[in-house]
A and B are shown apart, each in its own frame.
Chain A
Amino acid sequence: MDKPLTLKSARTLHITYNLPISRTSKFWEGLKEGKIYATKCQKCGKLHFPPVADCGDCGSSNVKWMELEGEGEIETFTQVVVKPASFSKESDYIVAIARLKEGVRALAWLIGVEREDVKVGMKVRLVARVISDGRVSYEFIPI
């Protein structure tokens, strides 16, 4: 079959979104100080991570910030080899989900360990990370 004819669109898009973080600013500021915060609902007691400004469980907006110690256990993980376009310059990265001792779970990169050495049940710590260009994130490191 002949190669199908296509018209390449002349109009292109480069989209950058502005994400409002005013109501969770303590979390993002905390990362710069090496701290990881969750929010705890003052009405029903539910602990939320990632943090929220409103409790969807009971409808209260009375939440308080609580620092997490970050210790947890890996429940599952993967290593991303084929990457999305905006991560194309990264080396293969391990993403893990761990349950922290406070009872909440977190999803983040696991660094400082080879994929072959990662096991379900492995002890890790969730730590804040300042990325070189001033952006902040968090990641797991093996304990």
Chain B
Amino acid sequence: MGHSRFGDRSDVNLSELTFEAVQPSLEDSGLTAKEIPYVAVGSMGVWSEEPLPAVVIAEYCGLTGAGLVRCEAACASGSAAAFNAYSAVASGQMDAAMVVGVEKMRQIDTPTALEMIGRAGYYLWEFENFGMTFPAYYAVHAVQHMAKYDTTEEDLALVAVKNHRYGAMNPLAHLQHEITVEKVLNSSVIAWPLKLYDCCPITDGTAALVLASEEKVNELGVEAPVWIEAMGFSSDTANLSKRENYVGLEASVQASRMAYKMAGISPKDVDVATVHDCFTIAEIMAYEDLGFCEKGEGASMIREGETEVGGRIPVNVDGGLKAKGHPIGTTGVSMLAELTKQLREEIKPRGRQAPMKNYTALAHNTGGTGHYCYVTILRR
């Protein structure tokens, strides 16, 4: 695996950025670029100038000639690319494949970026006349969760405080500073009740993985390989108004059930998880939707510290989307890269290494407002 530093990466272009993940990923796997037969790229790409990012980065990284595709599942594009590459290998058609996630979101101004993401629902019915934004989509979930389960703005702030604490320990994170509950509560309102520090930043970044068959792994003599045990997936309506409630994401429930069943495990077997915390409320809903706790009890998990290192199930101890950053198409790949390091017990500083009992990790990656969802279970 390979993973660039996240942040404002105006110092490099799309291709140069991608090289920062692709080359270390190749070196880690023992393969050269010319030996990679298939590449799946997760990228939304509307914020940078290239409409065909996959071909541009493949040329730059020496991957031209491989089977190539760009996958779109909004913020879950990285997981969609991982599933695409995983399927190519698992079907027996390829013995290896590369997954690349890349996004350069800071080449346009913030109101235009908000516009691009706000349109990513159902344009005609939610944006044309009503100007929904991505924070607004999650804000309506926060409001109903707060009304139904007495979740508070302080509870949401606790998610940001935890994820910033781990972001401060992650040298690849976009935001490497700690914050306080007061700072979150006093930050400016973006879409009420969500405030600046409830929201993930707009981030540039890339990550890459090499997937290989068991036979190829043996041939390469990979020490301590990490295996994809299961990938579950689901989707939900484009129109938010066509859903039954706004206290969770049904696609997360369905995708995780599918993944648990395929892997033959239950939520209590998971040693460490990355969940899709694009907004603080999203992490609380994810605890519930993934079965880490009962519906409505997500806030108590964060209050009790159950999702910190040393807690019942450490979540987003890389800083999460909230502090590490959320380069949209990269996030799913970044999650799998982080969990690979967790499972190899290579995390430094050790303060954010989750203790391993079952050597089992879970990545939860949603696209849009739960429009797409992928849940991947990794095992070493």
Query: For A80, what are the chain B residues with a Cβ–Cβ distance below 8 Å?
Result: 131-133, 135-136, 191
Report Cα–Cα, A93/B129, bound state, in Å.
11
B87 within 8 A of A: no
Query: For B139, what are the chain A residues with a Cβ–Cβ distance below 8 Å?
Result: 78
Q: B31: shortest Cβ distance to chain A, in Å?
A: 32
Report Cα–Cα, A83/B191, bound state, in Å.
9
The answer to whether A97 touches B147 (Cβ under 8 A) is no
Q: Which of B10, B127, B190 contacts A81 (CB 8 A)?
A: B190
Which of B74-82, B109-117, B152-160, B255-263 lies at the interface with chain A?
B109-117
What mask results when residues 115 to 133 of chain B are scored 1 for a CB within 8 Å of chain A, else 0? 1001100101111111111
Which of B19-27, B239-247, B317-325, B328-336 lies at the interface with chain A?
B239-247
The answer to whether A105 touches B140 (Cβ under 8 A) is no
Q: Which of B127, B135, B141 contacts A82 (CB 8 A)?
A: B135
CB interface residues, B 194-236, toward A, < 8 Å? 194
Query: For A85, what are the chain B residues with a Cβ–Cβ distance below 8 Å?
Result: 109, 111-112, 114-115
Assuming the contacts A76-B141, A88-B111, A95-B130, asked whether A81 and B240 have C-beta atoms less than 8 A apart, the reply is no
A33 within 8 A of B: no
A34 within 8 A of B: no
Query: For B112, what are the chain A residues with a Cβ–Cβ distance below 8 Å?
Result: 85
Query: For A137, what are the chain B residues with a Cβ–Cβ distance below 8 Å?
Result: 129
Q: B349: shortest Cβ distance to chain A, in Å?
A: 24
CB interface residues, B 34-59, toward A, < 8 Å? 49
The answer to whether A76 touches B144 (Cβ under 8 A) is yes
**B interface bracket (residues with beta carbon within 8 Å of A):** 35 or more
**A interface bracket (residues with beta carbon within 8 Å of B):** 35 or more
Query: For A75, what are the chain B residues with a Cβ–Cβ distance below 8 Å?
Result: 144, 245-246
The answer to whether B191 touches A120 (Cβ under 8 A) is no
A132 within 8 A of B: no
Assuming the contacts A81-B190, A81-B192, A88-B111, asked whether A49 and B144 have C-beta atoms less than 8 A apart, the reply is no
The answer to whether A115 touches B240 (Cβ under 8 A) is no
Report Cα–Cα, A97/B126, bound state, in Å.
11
Report Cα–Cα, A77/B240, bound state, in Å.
12
Q: B176: shortest Cβ distance to chain A, in Å?
A: 15
B304 within 8 A of A: no
Query: For A87, what are the chain B residues with a Cβ–Cβ distance below 8 Å?
Result: 131
Query: For B109, what are the chain A residues with a Cβ–Cβ distance below 8 Å?
Result: 85
Q: A72: shortest Cβ distance to chain B, in Å?
A: 11
B189 within 8 A of A: yes
B378 within 8 A of A: no
The answer to whether B240 touches A97 (Cβ under 8 A) is yes
Query: For B143, what are the chain A residues with a Cβ–Cβ distance below 8 Å?
Result: 76-78, 120
Assuming the contacts A19-B124, A83-B111, A85-B114, asked whether A77 and B133 have C-beta atoms less than 8 A apart, the reply is no
B294 within 8 A of A: no
What mask results when residues 87 to 114 of chain A are scored 1 for a CB within 8 Å of chain B, else 0? 1101001010100000011111100000
Closest to A100 in B: B241
Closest to A119 in B: B147
Given contacts A76-B144, A77-B143, list 9 more A-B pairs with CB under 8 A: A1-B11, A19-B124, A50-B124, A80-B133, A80-B191, A84-B119, A84-B127, A88-B111, A120-B143
* Chain A residues close to B by CB (< 8 Å): 1, 4, 6, 9, 19, 49-50, 75-88, 90, 93, 95, 97, 104-109, 115, 120-121, 137-138
The 4 closest A-B pairs by CB, nearest first: A78-B139, A84-B115, A87-B131, A85-B111
5 pairs from A and B in contact (CB 8 Å cutoff)? A76-B140, A76-B141, A85-B111, A106-B241, A115-B192
